[in-house]
Amino acid sequence: MYIHYLPMVEAVIPERFLRVFGRLLPFKALHKQMENARMMRSKAREIFEQKKRALELGDEAVKQQVGEGKDIMSVLCAYFDCISCMRVLMV
Evaluate whether 37 touches 26 at the Cβ level (below 8 Å): no
Instruction: Give the model's pLDDT for residue 53.
Output: 76
Per-residue pLDDT tens for 22-76? 899 898 998 998 899 889 888 888 877 877 777 677 666 666 655 566 667 667 7
Query: How far is the CA of 24 from the CAs of 31, 36, 41, 69, 80, in angstroms?
Result: 9, 17, 21, 44, 38
| Coil/strand/helix, residue 69 | coil
Instruction: Give the model's pLDDT for residue 32.
Output: 92
pTM metric for this prediction: 0.56
